[in-house]
RNA sequence: GGACCUGUAGCUCAGUUGGAUAGAGCACUUGGCUUCGAACCAAGGGGUCGGGGGUUCGAGUCCCUCCAGGUCUACCA
């Protein structure tokens, strides 16, 4: 029995064929296959109702005709029935479930099946993108975590992914910072904690400039010197960047992030002239109040609210570099798509940016990449306001991860006191950081979310710890019985699933492909989280009801298939979300 | 003022883009370890899906309107 990776797609094709054979015009029938409530089956086709409506005929006879026209391969694999007003239900037979699970037994095999979705495409993912000379704080968490998960999902589904950290390493704030560096730099403090020292210096520069117009003027002069390539200014600027990137990387290491490119704003310094010139020559931009701007007359708001591409003082702003960046990504990486994993408050900016870029590219006859703002909401404290410390400062990301790790360590110490200390620490870091990542990913990214230590680290419900625990239990079964996970020998002779809990788990397993497809299509990792949580839940129920290591070799083999695949899917799924997993905890 | 987002169980959230009797977790009640890890499982109560109108075989989901909260709205990113 051959079953494709994506069972839903297979059913859609079979139904389309049956419709053609039944004389329904192509285009008049959209199969509309969805996963369904387990009470009804595994998949259902909703399309007959709409087609019948259009044709002005009763739906049930049409559904029955389609079912009668299905090929033998479908009938062998599924129980097919017509229900209600005209739904077609498909319930996978136990033998088909086993067959699918035997065909998808490795990560490489899953990837092969999934990679059809974006094969041959190049996607640039723009995420994290902090400003240099500052610590990363909670505000930087979501972009980093969501961006990494989306990058991994796209890669898994066949795309070439360019992870680009578009850092803020240029702009007016560097004038003030360098002004302060020249006067107040404390080399000892810099050696101890460079970012802290730069933050201190920036505060000095910023408040001095605010208090004294002469200082402001000097700061501006510093910026001009830097832009002119003054060696002392440039050396300071490089030091700031190096120290900042090193600090960022320490956070990224803990989150499992590694960028392919770090092309910050400064990289586009010499590329903005072309933006000014082309937009102006193409008549896309105009002059208003001394600035070069783009209006969009067809847009209800942007007909009066312009996008400023060059400030009245002649300088570039983020709109300018963002346009130059799109051009670079298009010409240099040949991007088919560019994703911006950025706070939803910047929605207006991206809408203007994309409108402008498309007009510009159309005028120049360039291929237009798909442009999407992958937005996300704010992290809120338990008072419902943006998460801050008690004193009103931003919570540093390093301290947040430290606390997560510490809280997890207290738990590991309580639950597994006999493990060696260094292992307990490693487990705590994996559980703690993973809990932060998972808490963020498991919620719909577009809405704000409430950050609660207790919920996150309580390790109950839809949390990282629950999934990691399921993995640890499966690993334990194999370890205890001296078996290697996924060893074909241990699985040979398996017969079809029989008990209710075996069948329920197997039915959940074969929907892995659907979860990957859904999460990737919508760029919403929480769909994958939800699937993994439900999978772990089905496993726990099965584990509680059916003993795996039993004497009957056929029963043991089929249960080992379930254990091995649950483990594979949980580990693959978590790694696609950017989480590390554990052997034991 | 305008535009956009949000409103689902006491609390925190899902709801596969219009499908069948709206689902989880927490909290609460009850039961389950001499048996592969109880960081677990099983069972139970809890809802006018913010209000009202509409579209259709069918609406938490789409359109209109009102209410409440949030965000953005010309040279910061």
pLDDT of A498 above 90: yes
Q: Report the nucleotide nearest the CA of residue A34, measured to C1'.
A: B16
Confidence at residue A200, expressed as pLDDT on a 0 to 100 scale: 93
Check if residue A450 sits with its Cβ under 7 angstroms from strand B: yes
Residue that is written with structure tokens 């560019």 in the block: A338
d(CA A242, CA A547): 56
Check if residue A347 sits with its Cβ under 7 angstroms from strand B: yes
CA distances from A296 to A285, A318, A353 (A): 10, 18, 11
Compute the average pLDDT of residues A285-290.
Answer: 95
Q: Report the nucleotide nearest the CA of residue A41, measured to C1'.
A: B20
Using pLDDT thresholds of 50, 70 and 90, give the confidence band for residue A223. confident
A122 vs A382: which has the higher pLDDT:
A122
Distance A370 CA to B66 C1' (A): 38
Confidence at residue A345, expressed as pLDDT on a 0 to 100 scale: 93
d(CA A405, CA A447): 26
Confidence at residue A3, expressed as pLDDT on a 0 to 100 scale: 87
Distance A266 CA to B21 C1' (A): 59
Confidence at residue A571, expressed as pLDDT on a 0 to 100 scale: 98
What is the phi/psi pair of residue A564, to 5°?
Answer: -65, -40
Distance A122 CA to B76 C1' (A): 32
d(CA A21, CA A311): 64
Max Cα distance, chain A (Å): 87
Other C-beta atoms closer than 10 Å to the C-beta of A336 total 18
Check if residue A540 sits with its Cβ under 7 angstroms from strand B: yes
Compute the average pLDDT of residues A558-565.
Answer: 97
Check if residue A214 sits with its Cβ under 7 angstroms from strand B: no
Q: Report the nucleotide nearest the CA of residue A443, measured to C1'.
A: B13
Confidence at residue A454, expressed as pLDDT on a 0 to 100 scale: 80
Compute the average pLDDT of residues A126-143.
Answer: 95
Compute the average pLDDT of residues A23-33.
Answer: 86
**Beta A449-450 vs A379-380: how paired, if at all?**
parallel
d(CA A38, CA A501): 13
Compute the average pLDDT of residues A245-259.
Answer: 97
Ranges of H-type helices in A306-420: 318-333, 347-364, 397-415
pLDDT of A130 above 80: yes
The per-residue pLDDT for range A465-475, each reduced to its tens digit, is: 999 999 999 99
Please name the residue whose C-alpha is nearest to the C1' of nucleotide B42: A541
Compute the average pLDDT of residues A327-350.
Answer: 97
Assess contact for A157 and A115: CB atoms under 8 A.
yes
Check if residue A585 sits with its Cβ under 7 angstroms from strand B: yes
The per-residue pLDDT for range A95-112, each reduced to its tens digit, is: 999 999 999 999 999 999
Other C-beta atoms closer than 10 Å to the C-beta of A521 total 12
Compute the average pLDDT of residues A57-76.
Answer: 93
| Local structure of residue A385 (DSSP, 8 states) | S
Q: Report the nucleotide nearest the CA of residue A583, measured to C1'.
A: B37
Compute the average pLDDT of residues A411-433.
Answer: 95
Secondary structure of residue A172 in the 3-state scheme: coil
Lookup: tokens for A156: 């898994």
Secondary structure of residue A497 in the 3-state scheme: coil
d(CA A401, CA A468): 18
Distance A36 CA to B48 C1' (A): 27
Q: Report the nucleotide nearest the CA of residue A170, measured to C1'.
A: B77
pLDDT of A490 above 80: yes
Compute the average pLDDT of residues A114-141.
Answer: 95
Lookup: tokens for A174: 């560097």
Strand partners, A34: A44
Lookup: tokens for A118: 């974006």
Count of residues in chain A: 585
Q: Report the nucleotide nearest the CA of residue A53, measured to C1'.
A: B57
Q: Which strand B nucleotides have any atom less than 7 A from protein CB atoms? A: 2-7, 12-20, 24-27, 32, 35-42, 56-58, 71-77
Check if residue A554 sits with its Cβ under 7 angstroms from strand B: no
d(CA A258, CA A262): 10
Residue-range domains of chain A with CATH:
7-92 (3.30.1360.70), 171-259 (no CATH), 397-577 (1.10.730.10)
Q: Average pLDDT over chain A, rounded to whole?
A: 94
pLDDT of A281 above 80: yes
Distance A43 CA to B60 C1' (A): 22
Assess contact for A493 and A499: CB atoms under 8 A.
no
Confidence at residue A392, expressed as pLDDT on a 0 to 100 scale: 80
Using pLDDT thresholds of 50, 70 and 90, give the confidence band for residue A347. very high
Strand order in the sheet with A122-126: A160-164, A122-126, A337-343, A370-376
Secondary structure of residue A34 in the 3-state scheme: strand
Compute the average pLDDT of residues A262-287.
Answer: 96
């Amino acid at each position: 029995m051959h079953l494709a990776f994506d069972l839903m797609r297979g059913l859609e094709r079979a139904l389309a064929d049956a419709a053609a054979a039944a004389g329904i015009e192509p285009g008049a029938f959209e199969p509309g296959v969805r996963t369904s409530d387990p009470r009804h089956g595994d998949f259902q086709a909703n399309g007959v109702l709409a087609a019948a409506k259009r044709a002005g005929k009763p739906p049930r006879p049409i559904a029955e005709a389609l079912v009668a026209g299905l090929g033998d391969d479908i009938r062998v694999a599924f129980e097919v029935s017509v229900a209600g007003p005209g739904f077609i239900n498909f319930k996978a037979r136990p033998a088909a479930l086993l067959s699918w699970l035997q065909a998808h037994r490795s990560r490489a095999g899953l990837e092969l099946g999934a990679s059809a979705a974006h094969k041959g495409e190049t996607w640039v993912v723009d995420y994290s993108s902090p400003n240099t000379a500052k610590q990363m704080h909670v505000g930087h968490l979501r972009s980093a975590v969501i961006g990494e998960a989306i990058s991994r999902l796209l890669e898994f589904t066949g795309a070439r992914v360019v992870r680009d950290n578009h850092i803020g390493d240029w702009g007016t704030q560097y004038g003030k910072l360098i002004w302060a560096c020249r006067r107040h730099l404390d080399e000892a403090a810099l050696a101890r904690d460079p970012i802290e020292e730069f933050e201190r210096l920036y505060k000095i520069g910023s408040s001095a400039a605010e208090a004294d117009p002469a200082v402001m003027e000097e700061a501006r002069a510093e910026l001009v010197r830097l832009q002119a390539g003054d060696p002392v200014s440039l050396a300071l600027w490089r030091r700031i960047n190096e120290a900042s990137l090193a600090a960022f990387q320490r956070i990224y290491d803990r989150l499992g992030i590694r960028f392919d490119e770090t092309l910050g704003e400064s990289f586009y310094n010499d590329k903005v002239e072309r933006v000014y010139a082309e937009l102006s020559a193409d008549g896309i931009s105009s002059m208003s109040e001394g600035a070069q701007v783009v209006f969009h007359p067809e847009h209800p708001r942007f007909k009066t609210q312009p996008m400023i591409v060059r400030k009245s003082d002649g300088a570039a702003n983020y709109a300018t570099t963002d346009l130059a960046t799109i051009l670079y990504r298009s010409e240099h990486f040949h991007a088919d798509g560019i994703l911006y994993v950025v706070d939803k408050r910047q929605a207006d900016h991206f809408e203007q940016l994309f409108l402008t870029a498309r007009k510009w590219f159309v005028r120049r006859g360039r291929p237009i990449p798909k442009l999407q703002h992958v937005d996300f909401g704010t992290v809120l404290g338990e008072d419902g306001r943006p998460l801050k410390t008690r004193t009103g400062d931003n919570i540093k990301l390093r301290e947040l991860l430290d606390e997560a790790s510490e809280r997890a360590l207290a738990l590991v110490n309580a639950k597994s006191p006999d493990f060696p200390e260094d292992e307990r620490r490693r487990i705590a870091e994996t559980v703690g950081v993973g809990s932060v990542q998972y808490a963020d990913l498991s919620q719909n990214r577009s809405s704000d979310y409430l950050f609660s230590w207790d919920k996150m680290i309580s390790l109950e419900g839809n949390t990282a710890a629950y999934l990691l625990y399921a993995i640890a239990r499966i690993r334990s079964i194999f370890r205890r019985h001296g078996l290697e996970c996924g060893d074909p020998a241990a699985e040979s002779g398996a017969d079809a699933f029989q008990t209710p809990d075996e069948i329920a788990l197997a039915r959940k397993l074969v929907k892995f492909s659907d979860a990957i497809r859904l999460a990737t299509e919508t760029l919403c990792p929480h769909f994958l989280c939800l699937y993994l949580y439900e999978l772990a839940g089905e496993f726990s129920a099965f584990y509680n009801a059916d003993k795996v290591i039993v004497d009957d070799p056929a029963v043991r083999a089929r249960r080992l298939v379930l254990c091995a695949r649950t483990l594979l899917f949980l580990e693959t799924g978590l790694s696609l979300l950017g989480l590390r997993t554990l052997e034991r905890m």
